[in-house]
Amino acid sequence: MTHDADWSESPARHDRAGSRPKSMDRRTVLGGTAAVASAALLPTLATGTAAAAPGRSFPANRLVLLGTAGGPPPEPGRAGISSALTVDGRVYLVDAGRAAVTQYLAAGLRYRDLTSVFVTHLHADHVTDLHNFFLLPGFGVNDSGDDITSAVDVHGPGPACGLPPVYGGGTAPTVAPADPTPGLAGLLARQVEAFAYSTNVFLRDSGITDVRDLMRVHEIDAPDVGADPLGPTAPDMEPFTVADDGTVTVTAVLVPHGPVFPSYAYRFDTPYGSVVFSGDTSASDNLVRLARGADILVHEVIDLDFYADSGLEDALLDHLRVSHTDVTEVGQLAERAGVGTLVLSHLVPADPAKVGKGSWARRARAGFGGRVVVGEDLLSLPLRIAR
């Protein structure tokens, strides 16, 4: 279910974006108002390729890993978490971490083909480049003649409506105490306002499209299954439909990501294959239900052994344990779901020098009879891989 942000002010503003959006028609958004490089494989997989660099062919009907790093701190060798699906010339973006706008171009994707964005949750490493997709490509054409000119549907969590207690008790500073847990609409609205001076000047001297006309925000209302920001954050539930444009159907479930709520996993069913994105989650039965029989499961992983004796503070170690899926568990989850290919992404630690591809792949294979692909930035895969 979704409901939509109210980008109110000038009634005439909504006519400025020009052509009809190529994104999911508002009438097809269900449950709300009408507006709402090589990989380690088992067996060897020859279909994965580095995505097209600028000037190369558009990666048609593919899964493209734009960035595969987990965690806010930048690390060498990997961009922030973000993925894209290309289906019949449309691009569906999942999360928009650090450098996603740049990686999007590096993958050979066109801004003008961006149809929809799906945000799993509102941790900074998943949304730090989200507003940039509208602020930068929305300014005007680049040297390749590409830009965003039509509204893009942006789906994601609503407000959490409650902060978790401080780990170990006590108090902690609170940013924006009047509204400390904004949802997707609040996040983007505040970012639009923060860049008001730049936008207002360009509106006057360059005739750019109002950035507010480039995004249609849909905050997802999950079915009432007893979920709560203070727990349980992801009770047992069946997948529910988020959007359907007649070609791609997107379903979702709540997944447990420690104190972060709501946190979603998404499934994309297309004519060319089905792909599931776990988002950030600990081992989840909901995720297994969502991924049942999918062609590809893109799942986050963490190497908890790497951090066991790392000297991290207890609060952070506890957050890692309850918020993520250890690499030794993920293969069993994929086997239970009956997926064909397991793709590891949102790797923690993110630095390839800390944990190598062979180590990730070997442990992820435990209990899984399908293929394992260790994600790398700009890796591209077909949406359906022969089993």
If you search the block for the tokens 């993520």, which residue do you land on? Answer: 324
Residue 47 placed within a domain: yes
Q: Is residue 231 within 8 Å of 263, Cβ to Cβ?
A: no
Q: Write down the pLDDT at residue 296.
A: 98
Is it the case that residue 2 has pLDDT exceeding 70? Answer: no
Residue 244 placed within a domain: yes
Please give the average per-residue pLDDT across 359-375, as a whole number: 97
Task: Indicate if the alpha-carbon torsion angle 134, 140, 145, 150 is positive or negative.
Answer: positive
Q: Write down the pLDDT at residue 34.
A: 30
pLDDT tens readout for residues 133-189: 999 999 999 999 999 989 999 999 999 999 999 888 899 999 999 999 999 999 999
Q: Write down the pLDDT at residue 321.
A: 85
CB proximity list for 316: less than 8 A, separation 6 or greater = none
Residue 313 placed within a domain: yes
Is it the case that residue 243 has pLDDT exceeding 80? Answer: yes
Quote the pTM value. 0.88
CATH of the domain at 311: 3.60.15.10
Strand order across the beta sheet in which 273-277 lies: 240-244, 249-254, 264-270, 273-277, 296-302, 341-348, 371-374
Q: Write down the pLDDT at residue 92.
A: 98
For the chain, the average pLDDT equals 87
Q: What element of type H or E holds 285?
A: helix 285-290
How many structural domains is the chain composed of?
Answer: 1
Please give the average per-residue pLDDT across 104-129, as a whole number: 97
Q: Write down the pLDDT at residue 312.
A: 81
Q: Write down the pLDDT at residue 372.
A: 98
Q: Write down the pLDDT at residue 58.
A: 80
Q: Write down the pLDDT at residue 56.
A: 57
Residue 159 placed within a domain: no
Is it the case that residue 61 has pLDDT exceeding 80? Answer: yes
If you search the block for the tokens 């490493």, which residue do you land on? Answer: 125
Backbone angles phi, psi at 348, to 5 degrees: -135, 115
Is it the case that residue 259 has pLDDT exceeding 60? Answer: yes
Residue 5 placed within a domain: no
Helix (H, G, I), strand (E, B) or coil at 179: coil
Tokens of 190: 């505040």
Q: What is the number of residues in the chain?
A: 387
The single-letter DSSP state of residue 337 is: H
Residue 97 placed within a domain: yes
pLDDT tens readout for residues 274-293: 999 999 999 999 999 999 99
Residue 188 placed within a domain: no
Interatomic CA distance for residues 199 and 131, integer angstroms: 13
Is it the case that residue 302 has pLDDT exceeding 90? Answer: yes
Give residue 76's domain range: 37-120+231-382
Tokens of 214: 């480039």
Please give the average per-residue pLDDT across 253-270, as a whole number: 96
Task: Indicate if the alpha-carbon torsion angle 174, 98, 297, 275 is positive or negative.
Answer: positive
Q: Write down the pLDDT at residue 48.
A: 66
Residue 242 placed within a domain: yes
Task: Indicate if the alpha-carbon torsion angle 172, 190, 183, 278 is positive or negative.
Answer: negative
